[in-house]
Structure 1
Amino acid sequence: MVWSAKADSPVSLLDSNFVLDKDGNAYLKSAAGSVLWTANASSKGASMRLLDSGNLVVLGRDNTSTSPLCSSFSNPTNTLVSGQVFVVGMALKNMAYRLEIKSRDMMMYYTGLERSQPYWSATTDIRTITGRKGDIYSVKLGLASWYFYDRSRSLVSQIFIPNDDGDAIANTNGTLTAVLGGEGSIAFSILQNGSGRSSHPKGIPLGSCDVPARCSPYSICIDGAGCQCSSALSSFSNCNPGIMSPCSSRDEFQLAQLDDGVGYTGTRFALPVATNTNITGCKDACMNNCSCVAVVFNQGNCFLFDQISSFHMRNGRFFTSFVKVPRNNRGSAQGRRRTGITIVYVIGPLAFIGVLIYVGLCIYGRKTQGQAEEYGYLETIAGAPTQFTYRELQAATNNFFDKIGKGGFGSVYLGTLPDASCIAVKKLEGVGQGEKEFRSEVTIIGGIRHRHLMAKGSLHRCIFCTKEDDAPLLDWDTRFYIALGTAKGLAYLHQDCESKIIHCDVKTENVLVDDNFTAKVSDFGLAKLMSREQSHAFVMLRGTRGYLAPEWITNRAVSKKCDVYSYGMVLLEIISGRRNFHPMEV
């Protein structure tokens, strides 16, 4: 199989059918009548054709394959075939692995961690033959090579794909395929008419251990020898220290050194937090960083990681790796195994009885609580603001009728309480955080005391005036007053709150002004909460294009300086009266 309409969530053959309607739109339809997938292309007199190249196309009335309404080649799943062009914006996906053209290069990513981790690129592959300088914009799979082109379609480089003997592929009757497997490697093979499939011994990446998560977390991948656990972690279950909260007291942890030569795939494309340093300084950097769970030292370069997949045994002794483990994890592995056996025989039966009692109580609790559980968790938020049920907010906003704005993760509506107080209600849409994180953010952010209903709305309405707007032009004193108020708001979040808050999305749309042009920072949907002792944190990319600090782009640890950078872009917009970024200009 080289293409699937719904590779991520296959449909059942029993309750679905494929339709090409009279308007020329192709779609999958369930037995209940709902559309499961659509090609989003329609034209009178359209037809569908499977070309000799393997491309499934929907053709318009002109019936030409050079400009189809849609094609499977434009929406690949996990396979490319010879002659297929792969361009910027496309992606091959399989499980937690992804191939795409990004940062002017073709790269492979592991998405199983909180932040995607690159682990291969075309420009760094030792098989790449560079012809001329240029950025990769499109890729084409030939019979013996992968060809890389720039935006002007000039050949930049290529990767030679040899056969078993290391020679060029002589058979030109078959079709070369590149398949991204669920284990994270790309395998090449030739589909030959009437003779099945012929596989190539060398894929991408070259080494089996160059793929993240080849083994379980914290285990060591050894080329040709499989997976093993370091002696420093052998006393832990599944070789995993099991640290759930690395931000506890520093005295609770210590760094355990792994075997000589053990490195980590993530160092290949990551930027070190320090250069020209020593092992002692590198270890101190990890112990002083709340989020750090592992540190890798390589010839003066120090790399910190907040999440770990599997390690890799490197040739030579240039890598030195440490893992943060509980300080009280001492004693021989043999003694621990004996203690574990005792616990199983003595505590096991008691634990089983306890589980039965717990399950019974849960079933009983669900029957007695009923619908009240939907709002029960709100009562556990200590020190939170006044709480309202969904029905109360629905009545106050006249069923969310008067929409006054839109921010991260939802829209904002104007409402009136029974005591005639005006309120602004944000209705969350598509929030992916868990209940625990939601409670924490409501508790902390609820303590930020300022008026949330601002008469003049967002700052961008005041400074980016269009011909249709009747807003007056702001004088310099007013612009200075707004800029100063915004800076004070950020300083309050960074220094004066009980928990340090990095806003992560400072822009003119998230600065509100009242009748007196007093500025207030708003919309904390992307905010990151940190302890007062914490200076940096590793988080997923968030924010708005045009305001992103360099740390976001380079996958480095972020700090309050990211907000300061974004504030600088806002300040330039306040002064100039124009946006720093226009999508139509890209």
Structure 2
Amino acid sequence: MLQFQKYMGLLHFVTLCLCLLSVFESCIAINQHVGRIYPGFQASHSEWTDKNGLFLSSNNSAFAFGFYTALDVELFLLVVIHMGSSKVVWTANRGLLVKNFDKFVFEENGNVFLEIGDGVVWSTNTTGEKVGSVELQDSGNLVLLAKNRSILWQSFSHPTDTLLPGQVFREGMSLKSFPNRNNLSHYLEFKPDDMVLYAGFETPQLYWSITTDGRKSNNNVTSSVHSVSLVSNSWNFYNQEGLLLWQFVFSDYNGTSALWAAILGSDGSISFYNLQKGKSVAPEATKIPENSCGVPENCDPYHVCYFDNWCQCPPLLSSEFNCKPQTVSTCNSSKSSAKLLYVGEKLTYFALGFVKPLLKSNLNACQEACLTSCSCLVLFFERTSGRCFLFDQIGNLQRSAEGSPGYISYMKVSGVRNGGPSPASREERKHVIAIVIIVIATISVILGLIYMGFWCHCKKKGLLEYSRDNLEEDNFLNSLSGAPVRFSYSDLSLATKNFTTKIGAGGFGSVYLGVLPDGTRLAVKKLEAIGQGKKEFRAEVTIIGSIHHVHLVKLRGFCAEGSHRLLVYEYMGKGSLDKWIFKNNEGSHLLDWDTRFNIALGTAKGLAYLHEECEVKIVHCDIKPENVLLDDNFTAKVSDFGLAKLMNREQSLVHTTLRGTRGYLAPEWITKYAISEKSDVYSYGMVLLEIIGGRKNYHPEYSLEKAYLPWYASKMLEEGKLKEIFDSELEIDENDERVSAAIKVALWCIQDDMHLRPPMTKVVQMLEGIWAVPSPPISSQTSSHSKFFKWSSGETTSSGPIDYYSELAMSDVRLSGPR
């Protein structure tokens, strides 16, 4: 019996120990980590439900890091949150929410990431680094530290919509708001010498700039702003040396206990909060912009905002559309399918102070410009100055300030209206139509008889000058829908002073400077080799006339009068690119690296538009520096589509006759392979190398090693000597990511195998830093290269490498001159 009691006592003791151990482990499981976590840590929302998904807190317990429940209780954000106010101050995965069992992972190999299913939605991209810990600092900064305590990554360098004290906001950084009710996001961006707010429309629209805000403590400072940070109750602006330039004071309270945050809200305004006030925190009265009506959508689109928060729909829009007009684009329909609806007068719009007018003329010209531009949906016209502004999207309008005449506005709507007229008006209309038809028929018969008589008279006297081809061409041009302005020959003779100032020459004629009566300068191309020029003439009028893009030269008009064929282009003040990058051009100034890079990027965007965004795919066929023109601001515009090859969307290759310029021709031209837009990509790559090197792609005066630029660039890239590739007179920072990106992109573009060349849309993304640039095949210009890397999984490899460069590099003779 005694033994049995001892046995039962021992059993009770073991049971008690096990229970205590179980309770102890449970306590450990639910306790938050304080200050830091270490490699090997993993967490999901399901594991931290008792702590509301938060698994890491700062040492002062002011901030926590973990999962935050979204509107849908089954979806979660990974956030840093201020505990006292419940304000989220940083978000990792705002674009793609995760589920209950998706994990936050801190790997032993140094990478920190948030998984979603089998993929990754966010990562620090620090694989291979010698990491020590992830720390949530008392300031709210989430920091990944190396073993030597240096910072590898921090949330303060990747803000979302909030800035905190101690967080430095530098050039190139931006905030993005959560989308508003119309799915529009707003952005705060630090640009060179300025900080701006803009609406994320398809074409971004600025609505505030620190340089124009008069609430700064010092409006006379001219030094450049390098960084911004929150200090006490003000936003401080510093120069590159860290000296204070001015302050933007947003609160009268400057107590040391305050914890201020600047938050870009979904309404587009920046508000300032003292987070120490807890869950009852409210924004300060001072905000950016100062006027609530100054944000893009304080009211619904098309409403007029006044008295800060009053919204009213213009009467005509209210009566006809219930203030929800069905705006119409004429990009895929005829101009006649749209009309302009009067919106109102004495109006203004938030973006007008940040854009240049399209033109200065009269109201009729402004209306015609909107109807002609397929992207225009709303116009604003200022009667006092004649300034005309066009927009493709619009937010709320504003009433103009007292004493200001403001703007008159029209909106493009469908020309076909719902609901028919009354029976009486229908009868009236029938009578009017019948009368009009009779009058037109009578006039047509009379004009026809007069024309026949005149034609017979001219034929008898031998004065009929046109051949059947000329008449067909005139009929063709007269029938063009939405064609550019048709000038008379006498008007252009007057504008060019009888063609006296010659500014260029090309394969089909000469180019002259022209000036219209209103002072507008034009470039007038006079086609002289008319036997060949008619084909180019039709191509340029039909193709360029229908294309509008900031990086493509705009065709303003044409003349088809008798045997005269002329094309009228916008005037490009700085001429062609070759005059600015080749040292043998006397009088040319050195273009800095930023200007060259912007020219290369603009040219790429123009080509990408031709290849991907036009109704028909357009292959330029003759990309070279002479066909890249520069306006007064050195904005690059691709010119000369006279030799362009049109392709259906279904076509990827086409056979055609040899065109282009030696030195820029892709191998498939010489080998008589079918061509595609990838032929333009090759030519662009050569131009990009010349922009970088400031020399022709082949120059016999250099040493044998340097003579052929593509081979030399590939060799220098392989050896890591990037500076040797660049124009020796350029000052470049080898740490600038654009330097290596531009060289790599150029070498990818000039691959022998067309399938290895990236599409121009991908070129744009790589140059803008949106898409990482992989290293091109080593020595691709002199030996065969890898066939495994493809820009599209649907492409196949070519039949084999082509020994083309040995012939190409021997000459730079042009097969078609600059036009």
TM-score by shorter chain over 0.5? yes
1:74 to 157, 175, 195: 157
Q: Within 5 Å, give how 1:326-345 maps onto structure 2.
A: 326-329=414-417
Alignment gaps of 5+ in structure 2:
1-87, 180-184, 424-599, 601-607, 619-646, 659-665, 672-681, 691-695, 710-744, 769-811, 814-819
- CA distance 1:247–1:24, change in 2 (3 Å): closer
1:239 corresponding residue in structure 2: 324
SS in 2 for 1:283: helix
User: Which protein is bigger by CA-based radius of gyration?
Assistant: 2
1:295 corresponding residue in structure 2: 379
Letter of the 1:74 partner, please give it: S
1:304 and 1:523 mapped to 2: Cα distance? 34
- CA distance 1:192–1:284, change in 2 (3 Å): same
1:266 corresponding residue in structure 2: 351
1:21 to 69, 89, 107: 107
- CA distance 1:226–1:89, change in 2 (3 Å): same
1:69 and 1:230 mapped to 2: Cα distance? 54
Q: CA deviation at 1:175?
A: 0.8
Q: CA deviation at 1:273?
A: 1.6
Letter of the 1:161 partner, please give it: F
- CA distance 1:138–1:332, change in 2 (3 Å): farther
1:468 and 1:80 mapped to 2: Cα distance? 55
1:291 and 1:31 mapped to 2: Cα distance? 41
Alignment of 1:149 with 2:229, yes or no, is: no
SS in 2 for 1:3: strand
What percentage of residue pairs aligned between the two structures are identical? 30
1:304 to 386, 390, 394: 390
2:276 and 2:751 mapped to 1: Cα distance? 68
1:142 and 1:525 mapped to 2: Cα distance? 45
2:135 to 49, 55, 58: 49
Q: Within 5 Å, give how 1:310-389 maps onto structure 2.
A: 310-316=396-402, 317-329=405-417
2:213 corresponding residue in structure 1: 125
- CA distance 1:331–1:30, change in 2 (3 Å): closer
Q: Within 5 Å, give how 1:159-170 maps onto structure 2.
A: 159-162=248-251, 168-170=252-254
Q: CA deviation at 1:243?
A: 1.1
Q: CA deviation at 1:217?
A: 3.3
Post-superposition Cα deviations, 1:262-307, rounded to whole Å, max 9, x if no partner, equal 22222121101224x4434433433443432221123412212233
Q: CA deviation at 1:120?
A: 1.1
1:83 to 153, 161, 166: 166
Letter of the 1:222 partner, please give it: Y
2:704 and 2:93 mapped to 1: Cα distance? 45
2:196 corresponding residue in structure 1: 107
Alignment of 1:186 with 2:270, yes or no, is: yes
1:149 and 1:263 mapped to 2: Cα distance? 34
1:332 and 1:224 mapped to 2: Cα distance? 40
Q: CA deviation at 1:8?
A: 2.0
1:543 and 1:9 mapped to 2: Cα distance? 23
2:91 and 2:233 mapped to 1: Cα distance? 25
1:221 and 1:334 mapped to 2: Cα distance? 36
Q: CA deviation at 1:85?
A: 0.6
Post-superposition Cα deviations, 1:198-226, rounded to whole Å, max 9, x if no partner, equal 42022111222212233443333334454
Alignment gaps of 5+ in structure 1:
163-167, 336-407, 409-428, 475-506, 515-521, 528-540, 546-573, 576-586
2:224 and 2:268 mapped to 1: Cα distance? 24
- CA distance 1:90–1:230, change in 2 (3 Å): same
Q: CA deviation at 1:44?
A: 3.3
Letter of the 1:266 partner, please give it: A
- CA distance 1:509–1:280, change in 2 (3 Å): farther
2:176 corresponding residue in structure 1: 93
SS in 1 for 2:242: coil
Q: CA deviation at 1:334?
A: 12
1:500 corresponding residue in structure 2: none
Question: CA contact under 8 A between 2:270 and 2:287: conserved in structure 1?
Answer: yes
2:746 and 2:156 mapped to 1: Cα distance? 40
Alignment of 1:38 with 2:123, yes or no, is: yes
SS in 2 for 1:243: coil
- CA distance 1:470–1:202, change in 2 (3 Å): same
SS in 2 for 1:285: helix
Question: CA contact under 8 A between 1:229 and 1:239: conserved in structure 2?
Answer: no
Q: CA deviation at 1:188?
A: 0.9
Alignment of 1:9 with 2:93, yes or no, is: no
Question: CA contact under 8 A between 1:132 and 1:155: conserved in structure 2?
Answer: no
The range that moved more, 182-191 or 258-267, is 258-267
- TM superposition score normalised by structure 2: 0.42
Structure with the larger helix share: 2
Q: CA deviation at 1:176?
A: 0.5
Question: CA contact under 8 A between 2:328 and 2:338: conserved in structure 1?
Answer: no
Letter of the 2:108 partner, please give it: K
Question: CA contact under 8 A between 1:97 and 1:184: conserved in structure 2?
Answer: yes
Post-superposition Cα deviations, 1:221-278, rounded to whole Å, max 9, x if no partner, equal 3344543321222312543143142674444443333233222222121101224x44
1:152 and 1:331 mapped to 2: Cα distance? 67
Letter of the 1:51 partner, please give it: Q
Question: CA contact under 8 A between 1:454 and 1:512: conserved in structure 2?
Answer: no
Q: CA deviation at 1:83?
A: 2.1
2:288 to 179, 184, 204: 204
- CA distance 1:35–1:523, change in 2 (3 Å): closer
Greater relative contact order, per chain length (Cα 8 Å cut-off, separation 6+):
1
2:170 and 2:400 mapped to 1: Cα distance? 34
1:361 corresponding residue in structure 2: none
Post-superposition Cα deviations, 1:550-575, rounded to whole Å, max 9, x if no partner, equal xxxxxxxxxxxxxxxxxxxxxxxx99
Q: CA deviation at 1:81?
A: 1.0
